[in-house]
Amino acid sequence: MNITNPDKIVLINKYYPKGLTKKDIADYYNKNKKLILSGCVNRPVFLFMSFSKRSKIVVKRHLNERQLIFLNSNNYDKILNGYVISISIETPDPTPYWCIDLDYSNNVSNLEKIDSLEKIIEIIKDHTENIRITNSSTGYHVYGYLNRKQNLASSKKVLLSILKMSVPGNMSLTRNRRITVDLSPMNRRGGSTLIGSLTRSGIICTDITENYRDVIPERDFTIK
């Protein structure tokens, strides 16, 4: 990758108090190019971009007015130019899975996070073939794989009805609560962080299905 102004800091937060530079981010995506491309083949993605350490992260969904973004070996180096912090992959329609985004406010302990995660697993396990867990910027993505592909809107309605009946009182289906059960990945043009991508906070999105009890996702997967 040919990166202009490689030492420019584009992200600074509690995980990277000294900041991440364009070069840091570009080097990460260059090292993990094969993994990223294998995860998004023939699927549109959207990008979370930051242009300076003081700027808000912006979302880019199109290369131009109409053209969706599909990453491939020909455009990868040009698109992942050091300003792209995170890559999300669109949920397909029809969809082979449910995707639940568990988000937490700052005062939720790791034990509470694990407890809420296991409650969600318990709720959906009898309705799905298998379950996968990844870490996100503020919590977890829980994927419940279905026995066949289903219409996205209809599938979301089914999932919502199951959750409404079963989600305990300390968890909410309304956004921006202490523990939020967010179904926005299942909206039309919704999506979730691609495994291997950085999240918007700069931590690595990883499959933690086998060891979610042993890791603190927002701390254990920084790139420095």
Tokens 């026995």: give the residue.
147
Amino acid 218: pLDDT: 61
| Percent residues over pLDDT 90 in the chain | 80
| Percent residues over pLDDT 70 in the chain | 98
Amino acid 89: pLDDT: 97
pLDDT in tens, 123-136: 999 999 999 999 98
- pLDDT above 70 (res 1): no
Average pLDDT over residues 182-196: 96
Amino acid 175: pLDDT: 76
pLDDT in tens, 35-44: 999 999 889 9
Global confidence as pTM: 0.93
Fold type of domain 95-193 = Alpha-Beta Plaits (3.30.70)
Where do the CATH 3.30.70.3300 domains begin and end in the chain?
95-193
